[in-house]
Structure 1
Amino acid sequence: MSRSLRVAVVGAGPAGIYAADILTKSEVEVSIDLFERMPAPYGLIRYGVAPDHPRIKGIVTALQRVLDRPEIRFFGNVEYGVDLKLDDLRQFYDAVIFSTGAEKDRPLDVPGIDLPGSFGAADFVSWYDGHPDVPRTWPLTASSVAVLGVGNVALDVARILAKTADELLTTEIPDNVYQGLKASPVTDVHVFGRRGPAQAKFTPLELRELDHSPNVEVVVHPEGIDFDAASMAAIRSNKQVEMVVRTLQEWAIRDVGDRPRKLHLHFLEAPVAVLGEDAVTGLRTERMELTGDGGVRGTGEFTDWPVQAVYRAVGYLSTQLADLPFDHATGTVPHAAGRVLDLDEQALPGVYVTGWIKRGPIGLIGHTKGDALETITSLLADADALPEAAHPEADAIVRFLEQRAVPFTTVEGWRKLDAHEIALGAERGRERIKVVDRESMTAISRS
């Protein structure tokens, strides 16, 4: 190709930015445009990570350095499938990479799961992270809450529910979130996992963070601390599993302190029904036992827990993208090493995926680097055979968006919004206060 390779990346979260990073470091001359539905970049980092995670939020610094490269442009507030489609992108780019992630809740098929007072964790995360497309209020009326799942998201949800609002004033939580949490009457948060402690999916760091609050007592119920042969093998072979198990065992035998709020961890308790007629009044679980191979089976022993709200944190699910095939069972786009496959399992020329839309919502943020490397390796191998864009000039996409009256934002606009949020925080002695409203975010960015 006589000119630089033109690539569009749809989704400016970690997966998309990592893909852009790897591509700009290759030997191929390239120019990249990142398209993001939100007016601001960073996706999961901004709208999916709990606000009291300053170490993880530090990833933003590295991502910003990538966005600052001259070969990369950012177009925010542009929604794929609404403002532009695949055929549009193909006019301007030789290749398109989709990295749209996963932000919906995976369903849980138990009776009563749709009762008022039963929520998806992803929706709650979007609320407390100030996502512009969710309601500004949240019904925090329960004194006792159940969280279903033992992954990092479940612990984030449980921790935010259990902490006092004042503890979170050191973070960037919006005012509406602070006021909502301030009025919460919660005293007990119960986290339920259907398998044993050696099968828990959270990391040692996430687990230990539960115990840092001066207002929250972490209580591990000892009847769930059990191990079979597969559990012992996992402990011996995986340092992180060993650290998680050791921490849980220590907490299970310690005396319960007098902190005003309690966060309970229950293992080998499978949710079988959400109780209530017009609203959640309880949760029924079945006691499970390990089967020796890491699996579990029911014992027929049931317990009813008097909770008034239930949050399911059993996984995220990606949304189908216009003009792309989609595997509804896995919530992913079918692909071969990142190359999108059509219904006949043939590669769609110049169309690629990376991140959770490619492999499903598993693993940590850093794991998307491996996805990106595989996808970019495939793209570079295909470079000479890619269908060339009809309008590869840099300003062609700008004219297209302007003709469609799309109020897009840029990386310069993000810097304005970033500075505005930092200034809002400084007025109140805080590091940052996040702007929530989409129109306000866009107006500040485009000012």
Structure 2
Amino acid sequence: MSSCRLLLSQLKLWTSGGNKWKRGLNKGTGWSGKAFLSTSSCPKVCIVGSGPAGFYTAQHLIKARQDVEVDIYERLPVPFGLVRFGVAPDHPEVKNVINTFTQTAKHPRCSFYGNVNVGKDVTISELQQAYHAVVLSYGAEGNRRMGIPGEDLPGVYSAKDFVGWYNGLPSCRELNPDLSCETAVILGQGNVALDVARILLSPLDILKKTDITQPALEALAESRVQKVLIVGRRGPMQVACTIKELREMVNLPGTRPEMLAADFEGIPEALKDVARPRKRLTELLLKTALEAPGDKELERRKNATKVWGFRFYRSPTEILSEPNLNRMSGIRLAVNRLEGSGDGAQAVLTGEVEDVSCGLVISSIGYRSLPIDPTVPFDPHRAIVPNSLGRVPQAAGLYCSGWLKTGPTGVIATTMNNSFDTARSLLEDMESGTLDVSPARTGSQVVSRLLEERGVKPVTFSDWEKIDSLETKRGDARGKPREKLLTVEEMLTAART
């Protein structure tokens, strides 16, 4: 038996003696059960990024191999990435994965180090020297630009920043979007676009019971937005949202749908040979757009004060501005037709354009990963780290998972499978000897020394639990699940209290 496996078996015997022994050590030394595992012969893996991709990768590694140690590094003082900062506030059930991630973070062979900016506070090369393997899972924090005139005018925002604003991402705290207009246009028809539309139109009584930030709640209380158009370059049969998100829009209290019948010409006939998930989604669209509602739904729509609707076959060509004012006044859309069918259909310009008056444009055309370190290969066109099943070519011991690996596609379950695949690739390389785990590596010990020398104090998972406790208490006082701390400084103060 290797010294690492022997140590693990001894640990199980020690810890089986009861919680009293563990509590005594915890009280006296702050021990969490992890220090005893830090022996040089254990395979040591470093994961950069603590979102779903990072935690799912860690979870699979720890479950699959009984001697591997995993350290997770995160730029912010708080973990969970897009589960905390991307999932809509009115979708608390989606955030339940945090319970699973917490179990992983508290595992004796896993450690969390927040407030560490990899690429700045410590380099990838330094991590590679300290660990047998490094997995990059830091997601996609950049915006895809539209590339049209006027997109930098006030009143134009990316969905990433808008979502970050109402979800408490520190870098988006100062966004302060102008919601004083009547009509908003969202570009893109994926789930994020529908999240944004729903937040803009939701009754405050619903939002008050969520973990939406207080500044966002106050701004939405003053919002004058009454109409939201959700624009896509292709047709109803290529819409990118899920049926769950569409159904939520259809049933959103206080709103009614308003769509163009012309956008649905030929769609009923085209449904015959479509796969069932796409067929059900399109049928719901057709029913919402074209069918006469029943008495109950008709009454609901009559009483609605707000309107939403999809606009298909349209691409943005220019953000229009008010004469002599540095402020947007509308958007010019090119009218498209489709060539081909199904998911492979391409939007082709017809030469027609139409102008839509609006005071708010939110671009939801995708997130984009950014390079982290000059030594790491990066494909700027696809905005991913080039890889084969998570392995980074010509970079032994370097892997990637999540959106950095595939691009920003899919839901949390997609990311889970993607991350498990990367973990399997890493484990296969350990077993085959392609990844040599025999040399001694000191892991977090040497990295902690480097960070201390550079004046960086990491936030541990127990420190995060102090932040969590404070946010929960603040939320309780307002009848909410939590009231998030909105600055890194507040987070660090809470963590170190």
Shared topology, TM-score over 0.5? yes
Secondary structure at 2:57 match in 1:
helix
Counterpart Cα distance in 1 of 2:270 and 2:71: 46
The 8 Å contact of residues 187 and 262 in structure 1, kept in 2 or not, is answered as yes
Q: Given that residues 227 and 290 in structure 1 are in contact (C-alpha distance below 8 angstroms), is that contact kept between their aligned partners in structure 2?
A: no
Match of 2:388 in 1: 336
Q: Is the 8 A contact 2:122 2:450 kept in 1?
A: no
> What displacement does 1:299 show?
2.9
Q: Which residue of 2 aligns with 1:242?
A: 279
- Alignment check: 8 A CA contact 1:228 1:292 kept: no
Q: Which amino acid aligns with 2:336?
A: M
Secondary structure, counterpart of 1:336 in structure 2: coil
In the alignment, which residue of structure 2 is the partner of 1:386? 435
Please report how far the alpha carbon of residue 183 of structure 1 lies from its aligned counterpart in structure 2 after TM superposition: 1.5
- 8 Å Cα contact 1:164/1:181 also seen in 2: no
Query: How far is 1:211 from its partner?
Result: 2.8
Answer yes or no: is the 8 Å Cα contact 2:250–2:288 preserved in 1: no
Q: Secondary structure at the match of 1:314?
A: coil
Q: Distance in 1 between matches of 2:86 and 2:441?
A: 36
Partner of 1:350: 397
Q: Find the counterpart in structure 2 of residue 218 from structure 1.
A: 257
Pick closer, same or farther for the CA change 1:112–1:231 going to 2, 3 Å.
farther
Counterpart in the other structure of 1:299: 350
Question: Runs (4+) of structure 1 moved beyond 4 Å?
Answer: 227-231, 387-391
Match of residue 437 from structure 1: 487
- Aligned CA distance change for structure 1 residues 224 and 403 (closer, same or farther; 3 Å): same
Aligned residue pair count: 440
* Conserved? CA contact 1:145–1:308, under 8 Å: yes
Q: 1:394 to 1:292 in 2, by over 3 A?
A: closer
For structure 1, the 5+ residue unaligned runs are 342-346
Mark the CA change 1:80 to 1:229 in structure 2 (over 3 Å): closer, same or farther: farther
Deviation at 1:281, TM superposition (A): 0.8
Offset of residue 387 of structure 1: 5.3
**What amino acid does structure 2 have at the position aligned with 1:30?**
V
Quick one: which amino acid aligns to residue 289 of structure 2? Answer: A
- Partner secondary structure for residue 331 of structure 2: strand
> Are the structure 2 counterparts of residues 140 and 390 from structure 1 closer, same or farther at C-alpha, using a change threshold of 3 Å?
farther
Instruction: Give the corresponding residue for 1:344.
Output: none
Any unmatched runs of 5+ in structure 2? 4-40, 294-300
| Paired-residue identity, % | 35
**TM-score, reference length from structure 1:** 0.93
Q: Could you tell me how far 1:231 is from its partner in structure 2?
A: 5.5
Equivalent residue, structure 1, for 2:8: none
CA contact (8 A) 2:203 2:253 kept: no
Corresponding residue of 1:201: 240
- Most deviating of 160-169 and 102-111: 160-169
Distance 2:442 2:270 in 1: 55
What displacement does 1:391 show?
4.3
Alpha-carbon contact 1:13-1:99 (below 8 Å) kept: yes
1:261 aligns with: 306
**What does the per-residue CA deviation read over 1:406-440, in whole Å, with 9 as the maximum and x for residues that have no partner?**
12111111211111111111112222111111111
More strand by share: 1
Q: Where does 1:57-96 land on structure 2 (aligned, <5 Å)?
A: 57-96=95-134
Which stretch shifts more, 197-206 or 83-92?
83-92
| Per-residue deviation, residues 205-255 of structure 1 (Å, max 9, x unmatched) | 11111133322223233221244699537x622x32122111111111245
Question: What is the alpha-carbon distance in structure 2 between the residues aligned to residue 169 and residue 212 of structure 1?
Answer: 19
Instruction: Measure, in 2, the Cα distance between the counterparts of 1:220 and 1:243.
Output: 18
Change (3 A) 1:187 1:350: same
Paired amino acid for 1:152: N
- Which of the pair is proportionally richer in helix? 2
What per-residue deviation string (whole Å, max 9, x for no partner) do you get for residues 174-227 of structure 1?
211111111111111111111111101110111111133322223233221244
Q: Distance in 2 between matches of 1:287 and 1:42?
A: 40
CA RMSD, aligned part only?
Answer: 2.1
TM-score by length of 2: 0.84
